[in-house]
Amino acid sequence: MTSGLILYYLIMDMRYYSTVLRILLLLLSSYLLLSSCALFNNKKVTLLTHNPEILAYVEVFNASQDAYHVEVLYTSEPVNILMGKGDPVDIIVGEWLASPLPMKKCLSLNSLLKNNRINPDSFYPELLQLGIYNKEQKVLPLNFTLSAIIYDKKTEISVNSDIFIYLENMKASSLEYNSAKNNRLLKIGFSPFWNDDFIYLTTILFGVNFRRGIDTYLTWDADALTKATAFLKDWINEIPGGYSSERVFSKKYLTIPPYQLIKEKQILYFSLNSRDLYKIPPEKFEYLDFKWLSYDNKIAVQDDILFIGIPDKSRNKNGGKAFISWLFNPVIQDKLLEINHFKKLDGVFGLAGGFSSLKEVNITSLPRHYPLFTNHIPLSDSIIFPGNFPDDWQRNKNENVKTWLRDAIIIENFEKKLEEQLNFFQK
């Protein structure tokens, strides 16, 4: 672009050249200007995300090559931009992309997987399958999270696993730990209501498997749902004073950090997302330990899986594919895991806040960069991945599914109302 501008200004000052020559030189300068602009536009790749860690990865990519330059744009919910009428972008990174409507608006990535630019065998198979629509790989999973249970290391837990804490054992020890006076709780082992995700994930561990239906919005295993809600209802009912007493205790104490409540023996356990483990001050793990929430030797992946794709309106599809191919190289991901430590990004865990979708990275790289997870990486055959998501699942799960789960646990004789709520999804 610079050479074209210099030539242009020289031409404007050439009073002694013939008119024809000046016209020819002016056309040449215009050509150079347009060519340089086109070259810049061919290099520019726009990436839309809500995840701040992606910026660090983009900086590494930009520094590693000069064929493309990725620019990051931020929005709170990328999927809404994809479904709306905003300016087109070349790459989208976000949650809730693996449902029919968003995937319809993304390009097929089959060529990346078939040409060995990305090895499909590197992924957890069930996780990769979530991004398929009409036999086309529309989005790729980037990371996922698990549900962790923290507790005092001195606590004796009856388990047969070094990395799992089983729901039935957790329930039994929690109820045994409870202490009350005149139906006023003095201490409590654990309440399923401290975390909405705990209740939902319990249903998944029991095999409910919420997923989009063929002819209905949502389908599930009804028998598993009945068993899961009964298990949770019994847990709450056995707390002295029941749900109301638990709410009074929670309102009084849960403003205090849970690790402090554990240290003070006010509670026995607390449930949190795996990404939040690294938000706990490191020195607290001098007395804390954690295990993955499990049932029948299985652990459940949370629904907020991070996906990446190329919108069908992308102006630089080749640039988008180049970045995605680079990102899903296990060697590159190992280097990216170092970024968090090098830049001292406290509280940031793993690949963009979660476990990598690539098995090798979790097994070999993650424990090296995050010693807390040494001997805590679950085997792939122990992981339950979500079913295929229906459209608008985040909103419907939060506003409807979690609501009736909560009501089914605390309201007596709720069966009819529960069925009516379930029928809503079949209309």
Contact 320, 58 (CB under 8 A): no
pLDDT in tens, 318-352: 999 999 999 999 999 999 998 876 655 556 789 99
Stated as kind and residue range, the H or E segment containing 71 is strand 69-74
pLDDT(35) > 60: no
Do domains 45-145+304-383 and 147-302+389-424 share one topology? The answer is: yes
pLDDT in tens, 215-248: 888 889 999 999 999 999 999 999 999 999 999 9
Separation between Cα atoms, residue 176 and residue 238, nearest integer Å? 10
Q: Where are the domains of the chain?
A: 45-145+304-383, 147-302+389-424
Q: DSSP states of 260-287 as a string? A: HHHHTTSBSEEEEEGGGGGGS-GGGGGT
Contact 95, 79 (CB under 8 A): yes
Q: What per-residue confidence (pLDDT) applies to 162? A: 85
Look up the pTM and report it. 0.88
Q: What per-residue confidence (pLDDT) applies to 337? A: 92
pLDDT bucket at 160, cuts 50 / 70 / 90: low
CATH homologous superfamily of 45-145+304-383: Periplasmic binding protein-like II (3.40.190.10)
Return the C-alpha torsion angle 223, 224, 230, 235, nearest 10.
170
7 vs 386, more confident? 386
pLDDT(279) > 80: yes
> The domain 147-302+389-424: what is its CATH number?
3.40.190.10
- At residue 36, φ and ψ (nearest 5 deg) are -70, -35
pLDDT bucket at 159, cuts 50 / 70 / 90: low
pLDDT(36) > 60: no
Exposed (0-12), middle (13-18) or buried (19+): which is 382, by Cβ within 10 Å? middle
pLDDT(26) > 60: no
pLDDT in tens, 293-320: 999 999 999 999 999 999 999 999 999 9
Q: What per-residue confidence (pLDDT) applies to 274? A: 94
pLDDT in tens, 370-389: 999 999 999 999 999 999 98
Separation between Cα atoms, residue 376 and residue 111, nearest integer Å? 35
Separation between Cα atoms, residue 198 and residue 275, nearest integer Å? 15
Q: DSSP states of 24-66 as a string? A: HHHHHHHHHHHHHHHHHHHHEEEEEES-THHHHHHHHHHHH-S
Among 118-122, 279-283, 397-401, the minimum mean pLDDT is found in 397-401
Pairing of strands 91-95, 44-49: parallel
